[in-house]
């Protein structure tokens, strides 16, 4: 046996026997080398081997940790054959807030924490615009949005093999307004819209506000949109549009494969379904590899691609966009009739930021932090939550979707957590009819600290108490 294999086997055995537990820090490379009487290079090789096997994870500047491989994936659910219907979910229809809330720990919020934003660079861009172009800053923006920003967004599409013209881009107040405008232009009240289940509550709220009906297609852990069911659904129902999140959907963080994306576009084209693609998490692949938007395979002109700077830069700037060529004139008109246009200051400042600062560098750091937080949450769940808690391992984005032990009610957990100063998102928010009562969504976008660590322990005890399970030994 090679030397590094011998070291790796020793660690593997300790992990298998529970001597080393999920989330625990492993010896430093120097200590490992000394302990086994081998060189540093051999110790590094042993860790790399265990990392390839998925048993350990490296955390920048912290060392190696045992991976939380003991968490189970969510139990498969039989797909329901529900007819299209109106959204009837009071939890969803009554909700009116987003973002952090005072002293509460915002474990519910799918946004990057303030300390993860490139604050200095963004402030510098805002100041520069106020200094250099006050007349433009204080004037109305064109309804379609400032051309400089549209050009920069078009350049990013070109980099991922999905060419989009600046002439077809419309700047919006976040992805939410983009989806709203796209639905208003392409549908009429009473039309049926296909959405994933579970999916982001904002999409369902917009669909409800426009008096549309929903038809749900399963969103599968690790696989994304259940494209195999698409033909059946589209044959049985007259669907006008689909609002889909193929890249790291919220709440699962699942990625739909390129092959499935291609099949999705061609089947929707065959059935005359317009796709409104919400690619808000496309830049947040934890592997660092940006997946393509659906737009890349749109040879029929049926995809309206929506995006946003909310998750990669700052949600409060309210800057998003859409690109949907055949509908550009109608979309610009809808934007004009609704708000006349967006905000000049944020559009000009964002153009400045994209030209002068290094978005790629910021994104690399953000992706690493999100992946790291995701891993830490998994580890905390494996250590502190009841053993029958199940977790969907995300491939990107900002969320962790957790299935509580059987018969648990996440609304009770939500209330109990609030009383401890912790805010979580109960699963009922993520479907049209209040399904997923036994799920919660947690945020990967916070800065990891002792408070968060304690909160995960606290939540584990609450889950155990509410569900009648035993708490794990700390």
Which residues of the chain form contacts with ligand PLP (CB under 6 A)?
110, 174-176, 200, 202, 245, 250, 278, 280, 308, 310, 315, 320
Backbone angles phi, psi at 58, to 5 degrees: -95, 135
What 3 state SS string does 114-132 have?
Answer: HHHCCHHHHHHHHHHHHHH
Choose between 176 and 466: whose C-beta lies nearer to ligand PLP. 176
From the list 279, 346, 282, the residue with the least C-alpha distance to 314 is 346
Rounded CA gap, 87 and 208, in Å?
6
Choose between 250 and 403: whose C-beta lies nearer to ligand PLP. 250
Close Cβ partners of 454 (under 8 Å, ≥ 6 residues apart): none
Rounded CA gap, 129 and 140, in Å?
15
Choose between 278 and 352: whose C-beta lies nearer to ligand PLP. 278
Choose between 351 and 408: whose C-beta lies nearer to ligand PLP. 351
Structure token digits, residue 310? 């909310």
Choose between 384 and 430: whose C-beta lies nearer to ligand PLP. 430
CB of 215 to ligand PLP, least distance (A): 18
CB of 331 to ligand PLP, least distance (A): 16
Q: Are strands 213-220 and 192-197 parallel, antiparallel or unpaired?
A: parallel
CB of 108 to ligand PLP, least distance (A): 11
Helices (H), 189-343: 201-209, 230-236, 258-270, 328-339
428 prior amide bond cis, ω within 30: no
Choose between 308 and 351: whose C-beta lies nearer to ligand PLP. 308
- Beta strands (DSSP E) in 139-207 are 169-172, 192-197
**Spatial contact of 310 and 366, defined as CB atoms under 8 Å apart:** no
CB of 178 to ligand PLP, least distance (A): 8
State which residue has the least CB distance to ligand PLP. Answer: 174
Choose between 45 and 247: whose C-beta lies nearer to ligand PLP. 247
CB of 53 to ligand PLP, least distance (A): 32
Rounded CA gap, 243 and 175, in Å?
12
CB of 318 to ligand PLP, least distance (A): 7
Rounded CA gap, 320 and 178, in Å?
7
CB of 249 to ligand PLP, least distance (A): 7
């Amino acid at each position: 046996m090679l030397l590094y294999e011998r070291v790796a086997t020793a660690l593997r055995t300790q992990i298998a026997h529970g001597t080393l537990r999920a989330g625990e820090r492993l010896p430093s490379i120097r200590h490992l080398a000394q302990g086994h009487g081998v060189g540093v290079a051999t110790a590094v090789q042993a860790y790399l081997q265990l990392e390839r096997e998925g048993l350990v994870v490296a955390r920048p500047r912290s060392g190696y940790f045992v991976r939380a491989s003991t968490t189970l994936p969510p139990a498969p659910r039989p797909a329901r054959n529900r007819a299209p219907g109106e959204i009837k979910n009071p939890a969803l229809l009554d909700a009116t807030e987003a973002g952090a809330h005072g002293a509460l720990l915002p474990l519910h919020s799918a946004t990057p924490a303030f300390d993860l934003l490139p604050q200095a660079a963004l402030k510098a861009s805002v100041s520069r615009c106020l200094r250099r172009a006050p007349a433009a800053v204080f004037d109305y923006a064109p309804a379609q949005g400032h051309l400089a920003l549209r050009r920069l967004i078009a350049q990013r599409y070109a980099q991922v093999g999905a060419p989009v013209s600046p002439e077809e881009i419309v700047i919006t107040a976040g992805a939410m307004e983009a989806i709203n405008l796209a639905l208003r232009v392409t549908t009429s009240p009473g039309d049926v819209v296909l959405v994933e289940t579970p999916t982001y509550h904002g999409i369902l709220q917009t669909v409800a506000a426009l008096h549309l009906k929903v038809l749900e297609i399963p969103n599968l852990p690790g696989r994304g949109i259940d494209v195999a069911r698409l033909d059946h659904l589209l044959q049985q129902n007259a669907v006008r549009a689909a609002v889909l999140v193929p890249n790291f959907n919220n709440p699962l963080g699942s990625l739909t494969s390129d092959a499935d994306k291609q099949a999705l576009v061609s089947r929707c084209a065959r059935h005359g379904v317009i796709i409104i693609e919400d690619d808000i998490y496309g830049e947040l692949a934890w592997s660092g590899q940006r997946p393509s938007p659906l737009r890349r395979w749109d040879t029929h002109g049926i995809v309206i691609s929506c995006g946003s700077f909310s998750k990669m830069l700052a949600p409060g700037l309210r800057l998003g966009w859409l690109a949907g060529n055949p509908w550009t004139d109608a979309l610009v008109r809808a934007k004009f009739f609704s708000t006349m246009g967006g905000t000049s200051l944020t559009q000009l400042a964002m153009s400045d930021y994209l030209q002068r600062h290094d978005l790629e560098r910021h994104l690399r750091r953000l992706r690493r932090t999100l992946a790291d937080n995701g891993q830490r949450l998994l580890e905390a769940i494996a250590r502190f939550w009841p053993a029958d808690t199940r977790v969907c391992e995300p491939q990107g984005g900002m969320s962790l979707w957790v299935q509580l032990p059987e018969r648990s009610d996440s609304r009770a957990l939500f209330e109990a957590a609030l009383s401890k100063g912790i805010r979580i998102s109960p699963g009922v928010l993520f479907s049209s009819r209040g399904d997923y009562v036994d799920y919660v969504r947690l945020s990967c976008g916070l800065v990891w600290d002792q408070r968060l660590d304690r909160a995960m322990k606290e939540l584990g005890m609450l889950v155990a108490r509410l569900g009648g399970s035993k708490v794990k030994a700390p």
